[in-house]
């Protein structure tokens, strides 16, 4: 177990390498990391952001004082975790009108008797909510809340990977989750992202889920990316791969004409949710 954790820390330091950020952007990136992972050690954040442990402690003190996190010896954890888990709700409530529209548009592409992989996230949760009328779906998801939403429909079959429980995203992650997707075939994957950039590709707040998402992409025939327009042009901490791995982007009407044209130039179908 300790060996596996050390390997993940090393990969995080290698793959998450970035130029050193200024203090405020770095604190926001650390908060995004904690909102994804739930907790973090000072030494891991120091290696990932290429600053001293003393600097990371100062960042955590500031985030603690602002009420976002609780510091503990050697690290910190997200303050809202107990309430999120008890209520089975996600913290992300921004742009909910956009997320609901995208969820509805994505659900319109699903018929009965289909096999789907559904990623964890606030937009994919809205997508799952809109699938309640479908019957006999075969669903693979790493999101506990989505499993409960769709597993409550008697005709559905829901499969979940093993792995480590991540409270902020109500999801399962880690090496065991990756192994689960070996030999899986699904017609459609509905994928979430923290940011999508033409230069960097699909990005996420931490390295932990990258391998799981990569396994999901490999297991699906068609990849749908569910991302509201505020995610376009945004770059988060770690990269999954280029936008070309996506077949269809489902977004809202906030996307610019130039961005839409660039997605289409790269072979990505764009669906605008209304």
CA 245 to chain CA centroid, Å, is 16
What is the pTM for the complete model shown? 0.77
- Bridge-based pairing state of the strands 157-159 and 138-141: parallel
pLDDT of residue 243: 97
Q: Could you read off the pLDDT tens digit of each residue along the chain, which spans 274 residues?
A: 444 444 444 444 334 434 556 788 888 888 887 877 777 889 888 888 889 989 999 999 999 888 888 888 888 887 766 666 555 566 656 788 999 999 999 999 999 999 999 999 999 999 999 999 999 999 999 999 999 999 999 999 999 999 988 887 888 988 899 999 999 999 999 999 999 999 999 999 878 789 999 999 999 999 999 999 999 999 988 899 999 999 999 999 999 999 999 999 999 999 999 8
Measuring CA to CA, which residue among 2, 49, 4 is closest to residue 28?
A: 49
Q: How far apart are CA 246 and CA 252, in angstroms?
A: 17
| Spatial contact of 166 and 176, defined as CB atoms under 8 Å apart | no
Cα dihedral: 207, 255, 100, 79 (round 10): 40
Residue 94: per-residue pLDDT: 72
Nearest 5°: the CA angle 194, 197, 200 is 100
Residue 88 is predicted with a pLDDT of: 57
Per-residue model confidence (pLDDT) at position 20: 58
Q: What is the pLDDT of residue 82?
A: 65
Q: Which sign does the torsion angle of CA 94, 96, 99, 101 carry?
A: negative
Amino acid 17: pLDDT? 39
pLDDT of residue 49: 85
- Work out the angle between the directed axes of helices 42-49 and 53-65 (0-180°, nearest 10): 110
């Amino acid at each position: 177990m300790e060996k596996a954790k050390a390997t993940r820390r090393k990969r995080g330091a290698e793959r998450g390498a970035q130029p050193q950020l200024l203090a405020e952007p770095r604190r926001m990136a650390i908060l995004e990391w904690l909102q994804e992972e739930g907790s973090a050690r000072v030494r891991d954040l120091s290696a990932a952001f290429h600053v001293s442990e003393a600097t990371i402690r100062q960042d955590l003190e500031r985030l603690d004082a602002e009420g976002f996190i609780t510091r503990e010896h050697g690290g910190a954890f997200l303050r809202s975790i107990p309430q999120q888990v008890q209520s089975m709700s996600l913290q992300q409530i921004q742009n909910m009108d956009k997320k609901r529209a995208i969820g509805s548009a994505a659900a319109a592409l699903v018929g009965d008797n289909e096999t789907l992989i559904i990623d964890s996230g606030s937009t994919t949760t809205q997508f799952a909510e809109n699938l309640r009328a479908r019957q006999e779906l075969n669903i693979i998801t790493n999101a506990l809340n989505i499993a409960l939403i769709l597993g409550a429909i008697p005709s559905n079959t829901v499969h979940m990977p093993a792995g480590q429980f991540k409270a902020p995203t109500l999801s399962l992650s880690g090496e065991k989750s990756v192994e689960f997707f070996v030999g899986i075939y699904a017609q459609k994957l509905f994928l979430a992202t923290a940011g999508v950039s033409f230069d960097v590709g699909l990005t996420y707040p931490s390295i932990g889920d990258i391998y799981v998402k990569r396994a999901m992409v490999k297991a699906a025939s068609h990849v749908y990316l569910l991302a509201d327009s505020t995610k376009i042009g945004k770059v988060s901490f770690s990269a999954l791969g280029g936008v070309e791995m996506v077949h269809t982007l489902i977004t809202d009407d906030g996307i610019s004409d130039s961005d839409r044209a660039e997605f289409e130039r790269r072979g990505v179908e764009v669906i605008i949710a209304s």
